[in-house]
Amino acid sequence: MDEGKVRDSVIEAADALYYARGIQAVGMDALREASGVSLKRLYRLFPSKEAIVLAVLQYRHQLWTDGVTTAVDRAASPEDRLLAVYDYLADWFASDSFRGCGFINAFGELGAVSPAVAEVARLHKHSFQEYLGRLVADAGGTTELAAQLAILAEGAQTTAAISGTTEPARQARRAAEILIASIDSM
């Protein structure tokens, strides 16, 4: 089979396992069984487990970015585009595989021990903040508002993950509405 397709299917299988159980809890043998790719081939596709972890994080970054941008692009006004982020979160939280932000989880698990993982998490969050910054600018808001909306999104993710409820998405959304509305009184 085509190398690239096999590689992608390995990444998808690894992503599902790592996200569901934690990275260190999933051994290479479990990944071999889930992906149907022999250990030999796994190590021809990737030099090490850490390389797989990084590839999975890149894949997850792409999934997140695509999901958020398509949700945002369905909304018309600058304000609704900002709030669409929280609607996307609500949908995500409701999926039964939801277990928090994969980057926060990976950072908590490996950030102290793997500088590469810490850096990828940093870049992921930074890219989200930059994206929010553009949306906020379109709505006439400041960089500070963008940072605050990002903090609300982060907090909603961890709160939803740990509490096991979806409500934080809507609470964050309504908080965002208030912050956005306060643009005009500035």
Interatomic CA distance for residues 65 and 62, integer angstroms: 5
Q: Which of residues 27-86 bind DNA (CB under 7 A)?
A: 27-30, 38-41, 43, 48-50
- The footprint of DNA on this chain (CB under 7 A) covers a number of residues equal to 14
Judged by beta carbon distances under 5 to 8 A according to partner kind, the member of DNA, a second copy, none in contact with residue 38 is DNA
Report the nearest approach of a second copy to the CB of residue 49 (Å): 14
Q: How many Cβ atoms are within 10 Å of 12's Cβ, its own excluded?
A: 15
H-state helical runs in the chain: 3-21, 28-35, 39-45, 49-73, 78-94, 102-110, 115-138, 143-163, 167-181
Residue 152 binds what, of a second copy, DNA, none (CB under 5 to 8 Å, by partner type)? a second copy
Contact mark string toward a second copy, 114..143, x via CB under 8 A: ----x--xx--xx-----------------
Nearer to DNA, 117 or 169 (CB): 117
Closer of 47 and 186 to DNA (Cβ): 47
| Closer residue to a second copy, CB minimum distance, 8 or 151 | 151
Euclidean distance between CA atoms 148 and 44, whole angstroms = 44
> What residues line the site for DNA (CB under 7 A)?
24, 26-30, 38-41, 43, 48-50
